[in-house]
Amino acid sequence: MEIGEGAMAEVVSSFWKNKKVFLTGHTGFKGSWLSLWLQNMGAELTGYALAPATNPSLFADAKLEKNMKSVIGDIRNYDLLKKTLTEFKPEIVIHMAAQPLVRYSYQNPIETYATNVMGTVHLLDSVRFSPSVRAVVNVTTDKCYENKEWIWPYRENESLGGYDPYSNSKACSELVTSAYRQSYFHPEKYSEHQVAIASARAGNVIGGGDWSTDRLIPDILRALKSSANLQIRNPRAIRPWQHVLEPLSGYLILAQNLHQQGARFSEAFNFGPAQEDVKDVEWITKKLLSELGSSKKIEIVKSDLHEAQYLSLDCAKAQAVLGWKPKWNVGLALSKIAEWNRAYDENPVGIDKMTLKQIEEYIRN
């Protein structure tokens, strides 16, 4: 692959105007931010996901249903997914629907594998029957690598693995992507099928509008509203933290390039933060508390389940090949969360405006 030459390195709003985009997982945290961004650029958007899993949810509060076709369906239901995808005739597919929680996956491994592995099979198989599709981005995770607990960041060509069912199911989703690409959408036969498929591995994503359980930022924000101590597990666990708009811009840039130049970008890409933003849990907690002006007491609790201690991503490839690079450092990301949260506490009904304001600031940055 030639380095960088001719790639679209920014999100190009005019590219997305009137583009037919099929997004799975649109009711979730990242899916809601991406839906709003795509709507704002004028994309014709259909989403496919379960109903929002949390109450409140950004999907409901930002009134996202108004400007898209939202299909509430299960990714494990192949027939419904295939029918919805083929009838909509999208050009671009972004696959984010997943069971994304590590701790939940320990309790519900079958559901996690069914959703994350067979869900990917169902999605890619549906693409086989949708001649309109030109580009597919499968969103996996930094956790798909075999974690060697070493200090070096993982590169796209390193071994896949995954200790817990969630991480492992995402490694499987990567393997499924690779098998479908080779079997049905081989880059060397691009002129015959005209489908370009890539996978995207992001870091630990943070931002306003996440109410999931067992995730650090929502756990901190919930604790601040209760009289109990703020409990954190694994204070020394190190993760590649990044604002939600960072990987989303990577997915959009990747999709643009797949659509415009096809097979050249049909590969896996990491989208993580700069190395200085790879921080431990305690650092993130204290920094967010200080952004929020809180003196809440932190209580360290022992973790009962295995979670990786050290994880970071090497993003040299995304930078060299796509021209993508991180814009907001982790400190800024945390201050954006505090700003978003203050706005939400004052007026939940107006949160679409604050979310859009942050998207526009990110684009201008």
Ligand X SMILES: NC(=O)c1ccc[n+]([C@@H]2O[C@H](COP(=O)([O-])OP(=O)(O)OC[C@H]3O[C@@H](n4cnc5c(N)ncnc54)[C@H](O)[C@@H]3O)[C@@H](O)[C@H]2O)c1
Q: Which residues of 63-75 are buried (b: 16+ CB within 10 A; e: fewer)?
A: ebeebbebbebbb
Looking at 35, 141, 285, 341, which residue binds ligand X (CB under 6 A)? Answer: 141
Per-residue binding string, ligand X, 73-112, x by CB under 6 A, is -xxx-------------------xxxxx------------
Question: Interface residues for ligand X in 184-213 (CB under 6 A)?
Answer: 202, 204-205, 212
CB nearer ligand X, residue 110 or residue 151: 110
126 in Cβ contact with 82 (< 8 Å): yes
257 with 213: CB under 8 angstroms?
no
| Closer to ligand X by Cβ: residue 213 or 290 | 213
Q: Which is nearer to ligand X, 7 or 200 (CB)?
A: 200
Provide the minimum distance between the beta carbon of 270 and ligand X in the complex, in angstroms, as a whole number.
11
- Cα–Cα distance between 198 and 360 in angstroms, integer? 26
Shortest distance (Å) from residue 5 CB to ligand X: 29
What tokens were used for 338?
């505090």
CA angle 240, 242, 243 (to 5 degrees): 165
* Contact criterion met (CB below 8 Å) for 211 and 218: yes
Structure tokens at 120: 């990917």
Q: Which two tokens stand for residue 226?
A: 């209760």
Fill in the DSSP letter of residue 294: -
CB 201 within 8 A of CB 280: no
| Per CB under 6 A, 219 contacts ligand X | no
- Smallest gap from Cβ 188 to ligand X, in A, equals 29
Query: From residue 44 to residue 73, what is the string marking binding to ligand X with x (rule CB under 6 A)?
Result: -----xx--x--------------------
Task: In angstroms, give the least distance from the CB of 276 to ligand X.
Answer: 19
Distance CA 215, CA 217 (A): 6
Give the binding range for ligand X (CB under 6 A) out of 26-34, 310-318, 321-329, 339-347.
26-34
Q: State the nearest-atom distance from the C-beta of 94 to ligand X, in Å.
A: 10
| DSSP helix/strand/coil, 241 | strand
Q: Least distance in Å: CB of 215 to ligand X?
A: 7
Residues that bind ligand X (CB under 6 A): 25-31, 49-50, 53, 74-76, 96-100, 115, 139, 141, 202, 204-205, 212
